[in-house]
Structure 1
């Protein structure tokens, strides 16, 4: 049962990779700063490296239902399994429709839904402080930060040759895209580590005070990197072209701002924020400096709707999965 749940966690990690590949590289590909294949290779490598930069986010994710599953054996493992199914199902639905929803919030919704359905202890204060508040704050900071950074870029380079300036920002986007991919690994690979640790905790192989084993880190890093390399072209089209057509300078502003938010949230606040929410709002903020009407707000409205629905939808699927599996538990 432990092997099964950890395998499912790695499958989730893989879907997270291809679902969120667009987060790091969509703007760079759409502005032709990088070719799609080179961008994917770079993102996969940086995802892998980012996974080893800390465990704070993993600890936060694991703490949401750790008390309810520790030492619970098959019952606890069923709770974790149901949470993962809820997250995977929602990832696949939003990927199919090309909606850049949050894999992170799908996972957290799954954990909460399975925890409630099983009457396990859910750390609601952690959910509020580390999930709900950052979920609102990070897109606001992403939008406003990218908007202000792009205004500063426009002012600083207002007398420069436009063609040379854009050529320079295409080069700069290689760095900002790499930083974004590193932040994605730092955030999202750790979330899977936290769930794999929960499986080991439920099975009695570790205690809550133990550190995350090295093989768990390597497995999570490898799975998300492979998923990223496989690409997520449906969502890439939405982020790269359907919201707004970005030039290299705006692409750089969006990526640099989003990466900064991810690092601060992970290292400073230990909060598992959504890379999807952060980069999407940053793209909107950078694009709005052209003019507000340049952003396709109808597409943005659909994306925001998917954001709102993600946690309850994943929670519902997880709860239904738990109730179904519970019928076969001894």
Structure 2
């Protein structure tokens, strides 16, 4: 008997990455990067304000001083005028810092109201700014060419946002593994169908299919077969168009355990795993199907 960890190691030993493809970045969610993503531009892409307030020169913006306001700098594709000595410009969060400014005075540290308001002629500075404070310098978070996401990263929504922020619209990701689930047992009935004496709903098959989908696999189909070896062998042969075949039932020592009877001569290894239920387990690498598709690993559940 082996442990669950030992059995898992045997199953994953020899697994290789699937081929990769380039996809729109939003379509890559739940898939794995096949190559690292490097920053195509700096983050931030330009020096900008981290606060709503006033762009100033810190040396002249002493507490109590009144500075004439020479214009607005909104966020967006604008090129602000250089800051004239001894003046201020009203600036919004994310707007480019005017040339000549080295600090931001938040609106809360002035005599001006928060929110929408007409551009004032002048502003009173109530708290001394520090040069560089509330200023986000171009490239201070990420420099061009820096590795943002290494190969092998699972693309989560946050990872997608990070990729977009550094200039990517597509990503090279591994193809989703194609999975077929086969449940065995003449007593199984599809979900929702009425039961005859001796029958039970096939709940394991949908469970395994849902788990596979939840891990990012493409489930080609989930089906059930009876307890005949010819029926299961035909179903297994068809299923080998997938990358992975997961079976449920038929792997123990019963008289009708067709999975073991059919798959063991093909090289599938059956073992006892230290878990209950699920003690009888099997795995193996089967030969390619005649149509040339990749063979699957059969695992009893």
Fold in common (TM above 0.5):
no
Greater relative contact order (CA < 8 Å, ≥ 6 in sequence): 1
Structure number with the higher strand fraction is 2
Structure number with the higher helix fraction is 1
TM range (shorter): under 0.3
Q: Based on CA coordinates, which of the two structures has the bigger radius of gyration?
A: 2
